[in-house]
Amino acid sequence: MSWLPWLMCGVMVVACANTEQSKLKVLVLFPFPSKSHSILGDGVVRHLIKAGHEVTYITPYVKKGLTPKLRQIDVSDNFKAIDITVEQLNLKTIIMNKGVSFSIFDFFETTLNIFNMTFHNDNVQKLLRDPKEKFDVIIAEWMFNELYATFSAVFGAPYIWVSTVQPHWMVLRLIDEASNPAYTADSHSPSVPPFSFYERVQQLFFQIVGITVQKFFFDPKIEAVYDDLAPIIKQRGSEVPKFDELKYNASLMLGNSHVSMGSSPALPQSYKVVGGYHIDTNVKPLPADLQKIMDDAKDGVIYFSMGSNLRSKDLPSEVTQSLLKVFSSLKQTVMWKFEEVLPGLPENVHILKWASQHSILAHPNCKLFITHGGLLSSTETIYFAKPIIGIPVFADQFVNVDRAVKVGIAKRVDLSFTMADELKAAIEEMLNNPSYTRKVEELSFVYHHRPVSPGAELVHWVEHVARTRGAPHLRSPALHVPLYQKMYLDLAAVVFIILIAITKLIKRLFRKKNTEKKKKKTN
């Protein structure tokens, strides 16, 4: 048995060598200057670091005192690109103007500008121009343009997209093909399949208009910016690929989505579902005072937060007062994320300047969540199984809330000067009708009933891409099949020609017979 120790030793050496080898250098790009996007970026980074990899993180939210495994590249200049947007996100302005008006064209310009600012940022340029910098894999958030793939060309490394919403045709066609509008909704449409005739036509229309606008307005601008970047790709000795090749060359797409939060569209092998990975499974304990308030709330707690971009303190004071009046009439305890001290608070209302949303939602006494319906909050709703009242304000919030209403876990209340009455009715309905809680508990079960956690899945697929040099075996064969071939238009053309030929032939035969008959008659 003397070989046993040797064998053990060998196994250990192999194991060590393996872990050494498996340490990856990963570049993570989440440069969009918005808190919720950075939470998703932080989640990716957290899981990779925990798995022992080295991460370089391009972010506008640089944090202090982190592990040496993490290098942050500061792109906080990107905040300049959205100054106006921040002004638009004032709740008072929104309530007065009855909504936020974002044109898709402005939005496109903003995202393009953010890419350009990121790429030309001094800190990023230093990274790009240093020949010693090497990465095994690059992960970038997809934000309405594909220029981030340029980083893959510069470093000669495979890249992975992170799509932050439910899968939709715009992202799916980067790794497979645009989804079928007859049963897959556009990212900005609240429709849930099965579609009515009208909805089906509407979805087709969205897609055709979307593709046309992209092809004729956005793509030329994107390509012009790409041409400017060629010198930097060349300068590292890499070939400059055609943008069209680079754009469709992602190894994977990590989707912040899950069937429990949306529908279940057909997905290609290179789309990996990791929705909810940003939620830390170790819920932090609440501060002692909050813990006591929640423990003591025998009739339950209603948690009200408009998220990190919108501030409740910007609400017009008459709205705030009418909301307080409604809250004071409830027997439940209300915890309101509000950024200022509010004088004359009713006894059952508590103001939180900042709070760990996860910890509050995790508390068993939390009965109802009043939210703007952002994607992260919508995910957390399912995770912690809490029904919601959605007060959507901008972007995908309307869609998220409308979908949640259709699924039966939510009610929608619109932002207005008179919203307090509506909110009161909604609160009463939600607290008295157990169907909302039952449904959200069902969905929560579906969310949690997975073979592995989304964080583990994320790490696995990133490692898979790095170890297989871009996972070419996962690429969809549909990616390079032109539309006319998918629709068999060539076959249709052949059949059409054959049919024409046959009719011509038949006609000629008839004509011949007829003339022969005529000849006989005249004879």
Ligand X SMILES: *[C@@H]1O[C@H](CO)[C@@H](O)[C@H](O)[C@H]1NC(C)=O
Min dist CB 93 to ligand X, Å, is 27
The three-state secondary structure class of 302 is strand
By beta-carbon proximity to ligand X, the closer residue of 104 and 225 is 225
Which C-beta is closer to ligand X: that of 228 or that of 490?
228
Helix, strand, coil percentages for the chain (3-state, nearest 5): 55, 10, 35
Cβ–Cβ < 8 Å for 254, 458? yes
Phi, psi of 17, deg, nearest 5: -60, -40
Q: Which of 60, 158, 167, 275 binds ligand X (CB under 6 A)?
A: 158
- The whole-angstrom separation of Cα 436 and Cα 274 is 25
Rounded least distance, CB 175 to ligand X, Å: 12
Q: In the complex, what is the shortest distance from the CB of residue 10 to ligand X, in angstroms, rounded to a whole number?
A: 33
- How many residues bind ligand X, per CB under 6 A? 14
Contacts 24+ apart (CB under 8 A), 168-173: 169/207, 169/210, 170/144, 170/210, 170/214, 171/142, 171/253, 171/255, 172/267, 172/268, 172/271
**Of the two residues 438 and 469, which places its CB atom closer to ligand X in the complex?**
469
Closest approach of Cβ 225 to ligand X, in Å?
5
Q: What is the smallest separation between the CB atom of 149 and ligand X, expressed in angstroms?
A: 8
Two structure tokens written together for 83? 């100054």
* Binding flag, residue 120, ligand X (CB under 6 A): yes
Q: Which is nearer to ligand X, 140 or 153 (CB)?
A: 153
**CB of residue 254 to ligand X, shortest distance in Å:** 16
By beta-carbon proximity to ligand X, the closer residue of 469 and 517 is 469
User: What is residue 410's three-state secondary structure?
Assistant: strand
Helix residue ranges, H only, 162-310: 169-175, 197-213, 219-235, 243-247, 288-296
72 vs 111, beta carbon nearer ligand X: 111
From 423, 425, 443, select the one nearest 435 (Cα to Cα). 443
Of residues 179, 161, 203, 213, the one with CA closest to residue 29: 161
In angstroms, what is the minimal distance from the CB of 120 to ligand X? 4
User: Is the Cβ–Cβ distance between 257 and 471 less than 8 Å?
Assistant: no
CA dihedral (247, 251, 255, 258) positive or negative: positive
Q: Does 225 bind ligand X (CB under 6 A)?
A: yes
Closest CB to ligand X belongs to which residue? 470
Which residue among 110, 423, 470, 474 contacts ligand X (CB under 6 A)? Answer: 470
- Compose the 237-256 pattern: x for residues touching ligand X by CB under 6 A, - for all others: ----x---xx--x-x-----
Please give the distance of CA 58 from its chain centroid, rounded to a whole number: 18
The rounded distance, in Å, linking the Cα atoms of 8 and 326 is 69
Is residue 181 within 8 Å of 213, Cβ to Cβ?
no
Cβ closest to ligand X, residue 116 vs residue 263: 116
| Closer residue to ligand X (CB): 155 or 436 | 155
Beta-carbon contacts of residue 143 (< 8 Å; ≥ 6 apart): 32, 37, 111, 114, 115
Q: DSSP letter string over 33-87?
A: --HHHHHHHHHHHHHHHHTT-EEEEEESS--SS--TTEEEEE-GGGGGGGHHHHH
Only segment of 127-135, 212-220, 464-472, 499-507 that touches ligand X (CB under 6 A): 464-472
Q: Give least dist CB 196 to ligand X, A.
A: 41
String of contacts with ligand X for each residue 61-100, x by CB under 6 A: ----------------------------------------
Nearer to ligand X, 31 or 307 (CB): 31
- Smallest separation (angstroms) from ligand X to the CB of 472: 6
Binding segment for ligand X (CB under 6 A), chosen from 4-12, 83-91, 170-178, 467-475, is: 467-475
Q: Which residues bind ligand X (CB under 6 A)?
A: 113, 116, 120, 153, 158, 225, 241, 245-246, 249, 251, 469-470, 472
